[in-house]
Structures are given as structure tokens and as C-alpha cells.
Amino acid sequence: MLKTVFTSTALATALLLSPALQAATPSDALVQASRFDDIISLDPAEMYEISTFEVATNAYDKLVAYDLDDTSKIVPQLAESWEVSEDGKTFTFTLRDDVTFHSGNAFTAEDVVYTFARLAALDVGPSFLIHDLGITPDNHEDVLKAVNERTFEMTLSEAFAPSFVLNVLSGGNFSIVDSALLEEQAIEGDWGNGWLKNNTAGSGPFQLDQMVPNDRIIMSRFDDYWDGAAELGRLMWRHVEEPATQRLLLEQGDVDVARNLLADQLEPLRAEGTLQFVEATLGTQLYMGLNVSHEPLDDVRVRQALKYLVDYEGMVETFMRDAWIVNQTFLPQGMLGHVDSEPFSYDPERAKELLAEAGYEDGFSLSINVATNQERMDTAQAVQASFASAGIELEILPSDSRTALTTYRAREHDIYLGTWGIDYFDPNTNAVFVANEDNSPEAAANPLTWRNAWQEEELTERVKDLALERDEAARDEGYQALIEEWQEVSPFIMLFQQVAIAAVRPEVEGFRLAPTNDGNRHHRVSKD
Amino acid sequence: MTERSLAAPPRLLGTRLTRRIRSLGGLLASLALTFLGLLCITFLIGRIIPIDPALAIVGDRAPAHVYERVREELGLNLPLWQQFFIYVGQVLRGDFGTSVLTGRPVLEDIARVFPATLELATLGILIGVIFGVPMGVVAAVHRDRWPDQLVRVIGLVGYSVPIFWLGLVGLLVFYAKLGWVGGSGRLDFFHEGIAPSVTGMILIDAAIAGEWDVFRNALHHIVLPAALLGYFSLAYISRMTRSLMLEQLNQEYITTARVKGVSEARVIWVHALRNILVPLITVVALSYASLLEGSVLTETVFAWPGLGRYLTNALLAADMAAVLGATIVVGLVFVGVNLLSDLLYRLVDPRAR
Amino acid sequence: MSETLSTAGWRAWLLSERPQSALQARLGQAWLSWNAFQRNRLAMLGLALILLLVLVAAFAPWISPYEPNVQNLRLRLQPPGAAHWLGTDELGRDILSRIIHGARITLYIVTLVVVIAAPIGLLVGTVAGYFGGWVDAVLMRLTDIFLAFPRLILALAFVAALGPGIDNAVIAIAITAWPAYARVARAETLTLRRSDFIAAVRIQGAGAFRIIGRHIMPLCLPSVIVRVTLDMAGIILTAAGLGFLGLGAQPPAPEWGAMISTGRAYLLDQWWVATIPGLAICLVSLGFNLLGDGLRDLLDPKRRGG
């Protein structure tokens, strides 16, 4: 059969084509191969999919941003400076006066009020971020004030830790939108949401030219950017599902950057020695959630035993190498409150003892819900093999990620293997691993603890208090102490933290990766 | 499906023949019914899939009240039959709804993905016909001798190879190792958006715009997947041509023509071939239809942004507006091909009138 | 010497012009068919491939050099060599052993699909063909609906609805397979319905279902069997396609399509991981196709006459 394909293809090639073109990307554009089939809406108030944030951060500015060199620090963006009142509730921001939006409209404090009010009032998925600060659809008019063109003020319901508030505001959902333009585009009080789903209205270094779902995104330079126009004229992303295909495109010079290569693709490329490799430790963690409403996972000794039945090192040394590092806490490395605490290692003997104590020396069987993705399936199979060493039979139930998530949220799983990414660079974003205020089936909030039907009231209170701790050192220590207690009892087997690696062609200069897509701006990237 | 339907046996034709005897009105009515049934089944499947469509819209972290509101907006609280009637009503008014996955109107999405499939399928079927018909004729003429066996093996191998695997191997050899063809996707990135989209088929758009670099690049990309699809339709077409030809070669008029001294080549390539033209067109139309309905696996392997992949992605995300919209296209292709081959039959074959 | 004689004796008995019993007649007929079939070298090759598949599946635990699911992360992605004839995969499992055990899964899927789909198709087709009228119209509309939809997508939809897994894949494939058999059975029934012998049976007072079950179904069987055999390759490919898309057999089951799917990440540097299961699928479905093709030639009256 190969012969026929060969002849027909060869014939077609000979008849119709000249020799293949030598591929090269244009000199004023950065072309990236990545996966962005998760993008649904580009509206900053509505977006929650990881890829969208990279588009947004190139199109929009925020009041403040986290510092790429020290992620625990906040740096100014559209706000020049800020002050917190003595009672800790009122935040006053002084804004830049040299900023224009892509539309040509000038940026003022009204745009900030509009952006925040919009996020609160639309009441969409990410609106909880601002609701958590006490700004709601009902009170935003009283709470948010444009004192004058250059001064924005907001008064919160509680005296939150200032680091927490600023970290929240550095998230992409707080990207400042062009209020005048959106008012023009608004239909029936939708705050311009319908239009903004597929367009941008920002002041960032690039503006959106074209966005074809699951195919391509093209942005072009905004010449009047307040912080100096970008080096390159265009940013392009091409959706390429397969890591192997991304590697091919990169090698053939069809793209400048490949974003989703796995260790097995990276190794031969590294050996070749011509490409650059850019890394960043991400705020995304891979974990297993154990549903404690399913026997025998309700027994804390069984949960501990399972934590000893995972070959953490074996995985990161082999198929998970490069792209993942071991992290057994609920906070990513580099975040306030994180501590290098790794009490668990693969120890079947210890696990068997714990199981015997709990009365399960003969083992039992469980199932695990996994999204069909190469790394997760490999992980699930490795866990399946290591669980078997203590007589635990693990059935793998692979499915589309949305199906797995639906099962998880319905609390129908035994074990769920999945990732959790941070919303903003503050430890409170991962309180979902600790706090559970209402464990009833009809609870209004479904944090990860709720999904696994696990509730520890004492830990819940402590983690809530830590969001209000205004002394940063005390806050740091508080989380560290919490983590060590939590590791013993929690229904989470924290496996790995993700490391993003971009393979970059040699002619590209200044390409960086940040821990979240909020930091992946490319206006300083240039090409030889 | 492409991978499979091509393997439909010659027997299918027989039942088609009996169907043609029915009146055109009856045919139309039954096609309309099939179409409605198709929608109905798709709708049901979509609702059984254990995926929560509201979740795809609000995201994993939305609070319960937001989630509930979106469920209501989607009409997910209504009984199934009511949801279905609302949907059909909307479609009749030309409103296909908005895709959850892309956040765009379904019609816009389909207008984008269908030309990609159309382009690939058309080139594929052309390759299939150009190689398949002569192979079938040669096999029939040399029945049971080595050319026949060769054609048979080539055809059977076509039914036996997993298309996704052959696609992968093809990419490895012709793109990665030899660099003869373009990689996955329809164009290299920097050729994207140069030729203005008129038909959505890049080869034609590029030709209209006179952008021959873009044309060549598009050709580089399409040639491998089209050759693969072509091979699979070739397998079916050559075998059907062979059996249709065999029937003809036993007929009296062939013997008469030979006796009259008409050259053997003319007897075969003109007299006999002309007489199998009508059923042959039906055969080709059938394989064309199955290619048009989108080849999920080929499109997956080659990252081809076509209908098959769109439908699959939508299905796996319970993106019902998109699934139903794509199903309507599939149904239209089915109805169209049936109608077309029927009309053709009536036009050419006096016995069917 | 005596052996040849006795063989000749058997042949004479089988080919007797005047068979003494129905059994002798039937066996004689089978013998003739077998002789004709034997002359078709391609079909014999197909039969050999299928027999090989069955044998490999039956003796999998004894002939496979390793356990198919035992991982050795330190020996992952080894090229074919002395220790692992066909290399190892991304979790360090022996590919040869996985291929051998995968034969069982393939055989399981094919058998089960046929067992479910063929009777349904036969029943629907014969009933529709025999009764005609509105029964026929309804049933044929139903089959049309299923045939109108791309088969892999339909199977995919059912798997998505039922949940992934080998048994659900079997059900989904069976749901998409029966309409083709129904068409074949109906076409056969239409020609049989007006035949004299059915009329004779009817006059004797046999009920419709008795006629269908006792007289029509058995006569439709050969063409359905041929269709099913030709379809088996398709079933294998659909199952592999589902596996490839991650919706077929669940890991760690060594299903060939799923093996290709995981192997494609390593195609550039470790070609064997994806290539070998692909070849296995090719060989087996080619086997079924060659066999089916031979059977069709055998049962096709046109060819038999000529």
C-alpha cells in the first residue's frame, strides 16, 4: 500500500510542485506553536482559560503587575503609586496620565471604575474574584470612586492583607478596558460583553488583528504604547495539538517558538545544540483528589498509605522529567507561604503497615478519573502499577477533560487526577485545597475540598484568617505551619508542579516565560 | 467514517436501484424524514453525554448562582422534547445558535470549516477517480490474471490500513525526513491571510488573488492528506469499476462490436465504459459524500480544520448548538447526494423513468 | 498407499452423484466449495492470517515473553533488540508482549460486535423485506438515518454518551454496524419473498414469523456472513480509531489503536512504538478482507457459473 501512496504522492509532487520552499518566519513577527483550543471568550471579565490570559496581557494593562524577577513583589503598571488607609479598607491609586487606548481614547480613573464595576456586575465565572473583596453587583457604585481623572479609590468591606488585595488586582481579569469604546459597543446593558468576546479594547503593546478559534491568533504592534512601542510588528500563535508536530514545525523553521514540547521531544533538540530553551516554574500543580465520602478513603490512614504508594521520584526522573518537579504542598514554589516539605516517598512497606492498621491488609479496588492527555494517562498508569504493590487495584477511567470535570464536580469519583492553576499570585488563591465552609450537597461554593467531601473546620478558620493577616512575615509562617499539618490529613496527593519550557529558535532574542500567562508579554522580544 | 463507508459492498447498489423506482415526491419525503430523524438522534445523544454544557461556559471556578443562571439561559432545565422543539424552531428561523467552544455563531463556524473539508474531499475524490477507474477497467479486462490480482491487493490493503497510522507514517517520511510536502495545517503560517477569503478554499482563493506562492504552499500542505483520502476512495472505486465492467464485458453488444472489427481499446474504453457511467457516478458520489462528511481521523492527524474535527470536538464538549449545526450539514450532504444521483439516473437511464 | 486409497474413497463418497443422505449432500457441497476456495491463494493467505490471530490470542500468556502491563520506567523506549524483540514503549513495557495480548482484545471486539450486530441486522432486514409496506418504510428510514451519519462519528457519539471503555466501544460499533446487514438481508428477502417455495410454505399455513425464521433467514445467512466478514476489517479499524482518539479500551489494556495513539509522540525518534501496532492492525484486517473477498467470490452466483 505504501507503494501506491508513494507513487501517487511522488507523481503529484513531480507534476505539481517545485522543490519544497525553504521555510522561514517573517523577520518582524514572532510565530509560536502552542495549544489554545481552550479559548472561549477574550473578554477579560469572562476569561478563565489559561491561554486567553496570554492574549489579554499583550492587549491590556492592569493597575499593577507582579514582578517577573521576584514574583512575591508587585510593580506599578497603569497605577503610578498607591496608598492604603489606616483602617486597611480604603485603597487609593494614583494613575499614569500618558496612556491612550488602541482606539485613541485617553485613559482615566473612569476606565478603572468601569472595569471593576463591570467585573462585579456581569456576575460571570471570574466575578467571584472581585466579590471576594466585597465588591458586588449591588454595592459597586458606592465602593468604587473616580476621585479625579488621575485618582481611583476603592473601599473594601474588610481589612484584607494589602499583599492579597494587590496580588488579586494583578490578575488578568482586572485588565483595564476602554470604557468609552465599550459603551458604544454595548447592547442592552451587556457592558459590551458580546462584542468583547472576540475583540480587544485595551491599552497594551499589541492589538488583536485576527482570531480564528483552534487555528490562529494574530496581533499587531500598538505604536503609541506608553511604555515604548514593541520591537516586533506582529505576534502570531498557531494552534498545534501534537507536541511531536510542534517539534517538526520548529525544526523546519515554520515557527520561532514551540510551547508544548515534552521531555522526549526536548532531549534530541537539546542534543542538537542550536536552539534556546526558556523555562519558568508555573503556578500549576498536578494532584489527585481522594473522595472521602467513598470508602475506604474516609480513613485518614488509608489516605496516608496512598501517599506512600506513588513513585514521585521515578516519574519526574523518567516520563515527567523536565516539565514537572515534585511539590507535595498546596502552594507552588515561589509563592509566599510555600515551604519545601516533602514527607512522602514511594514506600510500599510503610503503606502496607498503614493499611493493616486501618484493617485493609488485603487491599481493595478504586477507580481514577483522568482526562485523556498523554502525561496524565502515563501518570495514571504509573500510579496504577505502584498502587498494585500494596494490593490496591486501580481502574483507570479516561475521558474528555470536561467529562472528567463534570464527574469530579458531582462528587462521583473515587480519585480524580487533574491540575489546578492559580488565579492570582497570592496563597489565598489555593485556599480551595484547605477551606470548606459548607460540605452539604447543595453548597453554593464548590472548592476542591468540597468536591472531595472533606471538611476540617479548624483548618478552614485558619486559612481564612491568613487572608486577613496584614503582617507579611506572620502570614508567610502561618501558611508554612498550616501546610505541614494539612499534608498529614488532607485528601489530596499533591504530585508535581509544572515547569513550562519553550524551545526557541536562535535568531529570537529576549523571549521570556513567566509563572503565569499574565506575565507572558512579548513586547521586548526581537529578532536578528 | 470515510475509513469505513468506502468499504460498502456492491450490494448497496442493488437496494438503491429498487429505491429509484419510487416517485421523486416519495423520495423527497423520505429524505426529509431521514434528516429529521438524524437531528433527533443527535439531539438525544447530546443530552445523554455526561458533560455539563453550562460548565464549559462559566468555567470550573464559577459560584453556584452563576452556574444556575447559565443553565437556565441554555434552557437546560426544560424537558427534552421542549428543548428539541425550541431548537428546531430556531433553526427554521435561520438561527443556529452560538457555539460554546468557539464563542461564535455556529453558521459562521461552519462557513469556515466546511470549505476546508470541501477542498480536501474534492482533491481526494479526484485522485481516487483518476487512478481508481483505470485500475478497475484494467482489472476487469485482465480478470484473474496478475493485473487483476494486483489491483485487488492494492484495494484490499486500502480497506485494511488504519488511515491515521498511514497518515502519521506519511508525515514522518514525506515531511519530516524528505521535506517534499508541507506539514500539518492548510498553510504555513506566514502565508496565512494573504489571499482574501472568497470561497474559503485556499487553492481557489489564492488563484483568484494571483498569489501563486500561497497557492504552491497550500498545494504542499494538501497533497499528502488528499493522496491518503484518494487512496481510500480508489480502493472502493477500482473494485466497483471492475465488477461493473465485468457485467458489461459479458454483454452481447460487446461481442457484436468486436465482431464488427471495432478495436479492442475502443470497445473497452468507449463502448463498455460509457455504459457503466451512470452507476459509476453513483459510486463516486457515494464516496465523495463520505469524504465531505468529514474524515475525523485524517483531519486529526493533519490538524486540518475541517468539518469532521469540528463535529468531533463539539461532540466531546457537549457543545450542542455546534453538534446539531454540523449534523445539519452532514444531513444536507446525504440528502443532496441521494437526490443528485437519483436525478442523474432519471436523466440518463430511460428505464428508470 | 492405503492412505491415498482411503482419501480417494472419501472424495468419491463426498462427490457422489447420488448422495445417500442430506448430510452427505451437504458435506459434498462443502467439499466442493472448499476446493474452489483452496485454489484462491489470496483467500488462503487471509485464512492463515486469521488462524494466526486466533492462535496468538488463545496462547497469549504462554508465548509472550513478558507480562504486557509490567512497567520498567528505567527501560523505556528501548529500540528493538535481543531482550525486547520489538522494543519497549514509553513506560518500559515490552511491545511484542503487548501486541500478542492485544490480539485478544481485537478478537474480543470483532466477535462481540458481530454477535450483537448481525442478528439485529438480519432480523430488521428480513422483517422489513418480508412485510413491505409501512413496516418496511419505518425500518428502512431508521437504517437510513444510521447510514446517513459518518460511522466513526456516530460510534464516537455513543461512546461519549456511554462512557469510554472496551465494552461500550463494542456496543457503539454494533449500533453503527447493523444497518448495513439489514440492507443486505432486506435485498435478499425481496428476491426470496415472491419465490415459489415461499408461496408453497405459505399455502401450507405457516405464519409470517415462522416463514421468516425458518425459511428466509437461513437463506439470507450466506450473504450476511460475507458482508460481516468483509466488515470485520472495518470493525477493527473503527475500534482502533476509537482507541486512537482515546475512547476505546482503557489503559493499561494493550489495544493496538491506543498504542499507536501514545506512540505518535515518539514517532520521530522511536518509530517502532507507533509503527508496530499499526502493522499488526494492517495484517489482521487484511486477513479478514482477503478471506471475505474469497468467500464472496465463492458465494457469488455469477462467478460460480463462470
Strands A365-371 and A393-399: parallel
Give the three cell numbers for residue A446.
Answer: 464548590
Q: Does domain C42-305 have CATH number 1.10.3720.10?
A: yes
Q: What is the structure's pLDDT at C300? A: 64
Pairs across A and B, CB distance < 8 A: 174
8 A C-beta contact, residue A41 and residue A50:
no
Report the chain B residue with the minimal C-alpha distance to residue A371: B316
Cross-chain CB nearest to C151 (options B1, B42, B164) = B1
The C-alpha of C29 sits at a distance from chain B's nearest C-alpha, in angstroms, of: 24
Neighbouring-strand partners of residue A34: A239
**What value does the mean pLDDT take over residues B243-260?**
84
Task: Flag if C160 and B12 touch (Cβ within 8 Å).
Answer: no
The shortest C-alpha distance from C209 to chain B (Å) reads 23
Contact residues for B18 (Cβ-Cβ < 8 A; gap 6+): C187, C190
Q: Which of A135, A169, A203 is the endpoint of a domain?
A: A203
Shortest alpha-carbon distance between residue B289 and chain C (Å): 10
Which residues of chain C have a CB within 8 Å of the CB of B3? 152, 234, 237-238, 241
CB nearest C251 (choices: A247, A248, A377): A377
> Domain ranges in chain C?
42-305
On the CB side of B199, CA atoms within 13 Å amount to: 14
pLDDT tens for C153-165 read 888 888 888 877 8
Domain shared by A182 and A313, yes or no = no
The answer to whether B185 touches B319, Cβ cutoff 8 Å, is no
Test B15 with C238 for CB contact under 8 angstroms: no
Contacts of A26 in chain B (CB under 8 A): 190
Clarify whether residues A186 and A285 are in a common domain. no
Contacts of residue A393, Cβ cutoff 8 Å, sequence gap at least 6: A363, A364, A365, A366, A387
Residue A8 has pLDDT above 60, yes or no: no
C-alpha cell at C222: 450466506
Taking an 8 Å cut-off on Cβ atoms, the answer to whether A398 and C251 are in contact is yes
Q: Closest Cα partner for B291 from B308, B314, B316, B315?
A: B308
Three-state DSSP at A486 gives helix
Question: Would you call A255 and B131 a contact, using CB atoms and an 8 Å cutoff?
Answer: no
For residue A240, the model assigns a pLDDT of: 85
Tell me which of B350 and B89 has the higher pLDDT. Answer: B89
Residues A162, A293, single domain; the answer is no
Q: Which chains touch C (3 or more CB pairs under 8 A)?
A: A, B
| A 110-139 → B contacts, CB under 8 A | 123-128, 131
Q: Inform me whether the pLDDT recorded for B77 exceeds 70.
A: yes
Cβ separation of A396 and C250 shorter than 8 Å? yes
Report chain A residues whose CB lies below 8 A from the CB of C71: 381-382, 385
Contact C250, C165 (CB under 8 A): yes
Distance in angstroms (rounded) separating the CA atoms of residues B61 and A422? 11
pTM: 0.81
**CB contact set of A372 (below 8 Å; sequence gap of 6+):** A398, A399, A400, A401, C164, C246, C247
For the cut 90, the answer to whether the pLDDT of residue B195 exceeds it is no
Which candidate, B229, B225, B228, B240, places its Cα nearest to that of B152?
Answer: B240
A13-22, A148-157, B293-302, C53-62: which has the minimum mean pLDDT? A13-22
- For chain B, helix (H) and strand (E) counts, in that order, are 18, 0
Question: Considering the domain boundaries, does residue A446 fall inside one?
Answer: yes
Whether A515 is in a domain gets the answer no
Q: Using one digit for the tens of pLDDT, what is the confidence trace for A414-455? A: 999 999 988 888 999 999 999 999 999 888 788 999 999 999
Nearest to C163 among B50, B164, B297 (CB): B50
With cut-offs at 50, 70 and 90, classify the pLDDT of residue A65.
very high
Highest average pLDDT, of A29-43, A121-135, C45-59, C149-163, comes from C45-59
The answer on pLDDT for B15 being more than 70 is: no
Whichever domain contains A89, its CATH number is 3.90.76.10
Is C304 a residue whose pLDDT tops 60? no
Same domain membership, residue A293 and residue A146: no
Would you call B101 and A218 a contact, using CB atoms and an 8 Å cutoff?
Answer: no
Q: 151-210 in A: which are within 8 Å (CB) of B?
A: 197-198, 210
C-alpha distances in Å from residue B261, one per residue of A184, A323, B138, B245, B276: 82, 76, 21, 20, 22
Q: What is the mean pLDDT of residues C213-240?
A: 87
**Which pLDDT belongs to residue B348?**
67
Tell me the domains of chain B and their CATH numbers: 112-352 (1.10.3720.10)
Cβ of A37 under 8 Å from any chain B Cβ? yes
| A47 located within any domain | no
Closest CB from B152, B160, B296 relative to C285: B160
| ipTM for the complex shown | 0.82
Tell which residue, B310, B44, A395, has the closest CA to residue C158.
Answer: B44
Which pLDDT score, from 0 to 100, does residue C6 have?
65
Query: Could you tell me if A360 and A492 lie in one domain?
Result: yes
CA A19, distance to chain mean position in Å, is 43
Q: Where are the alpha helices (DSSP H) in A308-400?
A: 312-317, 348-358, 374-388
> Which one of A203, A237, A264 terminates a domain?
A203
Q: Measure the CA–CA gap between C99 and C273, rounded to whole angstroms.
A: 11
Same-domain pairing of A423 and A304: yes
- Confidence check: pLDDT of A465 > 50: yes
**CB contact residues (below 8 A), chain B span 94-153, against chain A:** 100-104, 109, 112, 127, 131
Is C90–A242 a contact, with Cβ atoms under 8 angstroms apart?
A: no
pLDDT over threshold 50, residue A342: yes
Evaluate if residue A305 carries a pLDDT over 90.
yes
The answer, for A381 touching chain C at a CB cutoff of 8 Å, is yes
Q: Does A266 reside within a domain? A: no
Chain B nearest-CA distance from C19, in A, is: 33
Residue numbers of the domain that contains A85: 61-203
Q: With an 8 Å Cβ cutoff, are A262 and C265 in contact?
A: yes
| pLDDT of amino acid B315 | 81
Whether residue A381 lies inside any domain: the answer is yes
Q: How many CB atoms lie within 10 A of CB B24?
A: 12
Strand, coil or helix: what is A495? strand
Asked whether residue A333 is domain-assigned, the answer is yes
Q: What is the CATH number of the domain that holds A459?
A: 3.10.105.10
Q: Of all residues in chain B, what percent carry a pLDDT higher than 70?
A: 91
In angstroms, the Cα distances linking A161 to A468, A476, B228, C55 are 5, 12, 62, 71
Q: Identify the domain boundary among A154, A188, A203.
A: A203
Which grid cell sits at A130?
472581585
Task: Provide the number of structural domains found in chain A.
Answer: 2
- Identify from B3, B48, B61, B215 which residue to disrupt to test chain A contact, counting A C-beta atoms within 10 A and taking the largest count: B61
